[in-house]
């Protein structure tokens, strides 16, 4: 219920794309919420020019738990939302609410942060909210272009890690994790770079009777924040992301549409 409410709170700010009013309000909310769980919060800011020639300041929001521990894992999600509804049939040039795409991963990690503030874990945990994941050019979706317009926050963080000595054992990225009957396949980049983590999590999920959600099938490679964490930061990182082979884009049917609202959240 609290994870659900964390999505509702984000959606209440409206669309949260770079430099928007909702983006500014949500950034303040996320920083304050994390500070209520740990004093170790860093805001990483940098200027960026997006594919449409606009200049912005983006914010990656980083919270650490038990920072004194050397044995660490990193948990990632993007907190921004898409600035256009490019897969809708109406108002394609208007921004979306991004309840699932953006809101859900953040909400799950906020709930984990709340739990970590109550019970100290055996390992150190860093929760990192990436900005500017979804402000990409629809024409620039492949990994063949060295100047990829998506995942700008994770690209920057991977080149400018908040702690130069940071060396977590592995990372887990959450993206679109709150849809009804969502299924999570073993994503291509995850299998290529961190299959041992995929196997560990899928095995545990099935042991907990979540086998209907964590499917023992591979999906294609999906361009997402974990790609840059793997290849630039060299941190083995997997992506837990909803995959629907029945749709044309292979994401949930509300992806990048105005229907990605609270009705899309289970």
Q: Which of 70-74, 92-96, 234-238, 244-248 has the lowest mean pLDDT?
A: 244-248
What are the backbone dihedrals phi and psi of residue 11, each rounded to the nearest 5 degrees, phi first?
-65, -30
> Over the stretch 90-137, which tens digit does the pLDDT of each residue have?
999 999 999 999 999 999 999 999 999 999 999 999 999 999 999 999
Token pair for 236: 């083995």
Q: In terms of Cα–Cα distance, which of 106, 86, 87 is closest to 13? A: 106
Rounded to an integer, the average pLDDT of 190-194 is: 98
> Whole-angstrom Cα distance, residue 204 to residue 218?
17
pTM for this model (two decimals):
0.96
Q: pLDDT > 70: what percent of the chain?
A: 97
Mean pLDDT of the chain: 96
- CA dihedral of residues 231, 234, 235, 239 (deg, nearest 10): 10
Judge whether residue 146 has pLDDT over 60. no
Question: Across 66-108, where does the E strand assignment appear?
Answer: 72-78
DSSP secondary structure string for all residues of 110-158: HHHHHHHHHS--SSEEEEEEESSSS---TT--STT-SS--S-HHHHHHH
């Amino acid at each position: 219920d609290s994870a659900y409410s964390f999505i509702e709170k984000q959606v209440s700010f409206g669309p949260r794309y770079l430099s928007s009013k909702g983006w500014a309000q949500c950034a303040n909310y996320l920083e304050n919420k994390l500070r209520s769980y740990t004093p170790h919060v860093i805001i990483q800011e940098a200027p960026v020019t997006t594919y449409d020639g606009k200049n912005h300041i983006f914010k990656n929001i980083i919270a650490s738990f038990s920072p004194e521990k050397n044995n660490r894992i990193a948990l990632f999600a993007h907190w921004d939302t898409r600035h256009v509804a490019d897969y809708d049939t109406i108002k394609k040039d208007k921004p979306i609410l991004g309840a699932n795409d953006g809101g859900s991963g953040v909400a799950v990690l906020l709930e984990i942060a709340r739990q970590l503030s109550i019970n100290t874990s055996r390992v150190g945990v860093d929760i990192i909210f990436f900005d500017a994941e979804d402000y990409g050019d629809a024409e620039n979706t492949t990994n063949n272009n060295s100047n990829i317009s998506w995942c700008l926050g994770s690209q920057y963080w991977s080149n400018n890690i908040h702690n130069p000595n940071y060396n977590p054992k592995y990372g887990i990225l959450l993206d679109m994790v709150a849809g009804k009957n969502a299924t999570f396949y073993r994503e291509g980049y995850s299998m290529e770079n961190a299959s041992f983590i995929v196997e560990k999590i899928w095995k545990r999920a099935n042991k907990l009777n979540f086998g209907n959600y964590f499917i023992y099938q591979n999906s294609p490679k999906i361009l997402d924040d974990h790609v840059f964490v793997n290849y630039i930061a060299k941190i083995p990182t997997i992506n837990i992301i909803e995959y629907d082979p029945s749709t044309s884009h292979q994401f949930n049917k509300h992806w990048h549409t105005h229907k990605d609202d609270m009705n899309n959240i289970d």
